[in-house]
């Protein structure tokens, strides 16, 4: 079995892709009782189909309007494991070495009831994904007002592939359409307000699989960062971003954040505090 990288190696990589710093006291506050997190709901493709016949709106459960973040990524890229780590739990969420474990949207409340925010785990895409899971994810991203940020995982061991590019393209167009619609309605209301951009946060998981040389590891991270950004930029080029007064290049920069790097094969797991801070910031809960 391949041994884990030395701690300093991944630390170095993480520092080099410098991420925004946030007040850690608020983060600690929100995640202080992280172990009290609970699953508060789940929603599967069959429920979506049944509900869609009744309404065109948000069909997902009302969770007191708490801010939500959702995670996506290729099947088996480590989405559910990452959320377990963020929640300081080993197996609140079921994980598996076999792709296709998560088959529905699962909603987890962070903190004691009524909670501060909701993490939404979702099924993976790619060869082991299913079309109905894609519809479920799409419906959530298109309709959910509480959505604050979309996390997308990339296994450090695998280069980005065409399915990742398709997902990034689809996601950025969907988020742009939502932005454009809320801009149009704010114009109509006679009270134009710059809409909030729902951002995409890439997360490189399984960083223990990055090459052992720091330079090579950095190259992998930089390449992924560039490819993800380019996929978003190219997708937005085909959208009429001028409608909201920005170029596709500008919007891509605003919409797609720099990747975070994590590995759970260290004790304690690496990069998790940064993911927590990022979630807290996405939910506008920083003090
Ligand atoms: N080496 C390594 N393996 C990891 C890491 N994180 C998760 N894994 C493993 O990756 C496998 C898949 O993890 P999951 O969290 O179930 O992945 P998922 O993306 O939720 O998978 P699906 O629900 O099937 O789409 C499991 O065997 C985990 O133990 C990590 O940081 N390093
Ligand atoms: Mg999963």
**3-state percent breakdown (helix, strand, coil) of the chain, nearest 5:** 45, 15, 40
Task: Select from 81, 91, 130 the residue to mutate for testing ligand 1; criterion: most ligand atoms less than 8 Å from CB.
Answer: 81
Give, as one character, the DSSP assignment of residue 85.
H
Q: Is the CB of 205 under 6 A from ligand 1?
A: yes
Task: Classify 247 as helix, strand or coil.
Answer: coil
Query: What pLDDT digit, counting tens, does each position of 42-101 carry?
Result: 999 999 999 877 776 788 999 999 999 999 999 999 999 999 999 988 899 999 999 999
For residue 156, pLDDT over 50 is answered with yes
CA of 167 to the centre of ligand 2 (A): 17
The CA 102 to ligand 1 mean position distance, Å, reads 11
The ligand whose atoms approach the alpha carbon of 74 most closely is 1
81 lines ligand 1 (CB under 6 A): yes
Average confidence score pLDDT of the chain: 88
The whole model's pTM is what? Answer: 0.92
pLDDT greater at residue 121 or residue 17: 121
- For residue 181 the two structure tokens come to 């619609």
Question: Which of 273, 249, 105 has its CA nearest to residue 281?
Answer: 273
Rounded Cα distance between 257 and 250, Å, is 12
Q: CA geometry: angle at 158 spanning 154 and 163, to 5°?
A: 65
């Amino acid at each position: 079995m391949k041994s884990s990288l030395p701690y300093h190696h991944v630390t170095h990589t993480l520092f080099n892709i410098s991420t925004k710093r946030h007040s850690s006291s608020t983060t600690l506050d929100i995640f202080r009782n992280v172990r009290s997190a609970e699953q508060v709901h789940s929603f599967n493709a069959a429920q979506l189909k049944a509900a869609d016949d009744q309404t065109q709106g948000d069909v997902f459960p009302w969770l007191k309007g708490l801010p939500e973040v959702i995670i996506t990524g290729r099947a088996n890229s480590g989405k559910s494991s990452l959320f377990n780590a963020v929640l300081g739990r080993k197996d609140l969420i079921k994980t598996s070495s076999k792709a296709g474990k998560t088959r529905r949207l699962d909603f987890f409340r962070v903190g004691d009831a009524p909670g501060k925010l909701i993490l939404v785990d979702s099924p993976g895409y790619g060869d082991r994904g299913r079309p109905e899971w894609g519809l479920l994810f799409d419906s959530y991203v298109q309709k959910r007002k509480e959505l604050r940020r979309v996390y997308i995982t990339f296994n450090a061991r695998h280069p980005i592939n065409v399915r990742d590019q398709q997902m990034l393209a689809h996601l950025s167009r969907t988020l742009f359409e939502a932005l454009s619609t809320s801009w149009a309605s704010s114009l109509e209301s006679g009270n134009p307000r710059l809409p909030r951009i729902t951002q995409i946060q890439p997360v490189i998981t399984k960083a223990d699989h990055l090459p052992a040389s720091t330079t090579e590891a950095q190259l992998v991270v930089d390449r992924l960062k560039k490819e993800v950004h380019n996929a978003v930029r190219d997708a937005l080029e085909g959208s009429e971003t001028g409608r909201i007064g920005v170029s596709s290049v500008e919007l891509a920069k605003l919409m797609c954040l720099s990747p975070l790097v994590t590995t759970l094969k260290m004790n304690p797991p690496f990069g998790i505090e940064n993911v927590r801070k990022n979630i807290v910031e996405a939910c506008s809960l920083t003090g």
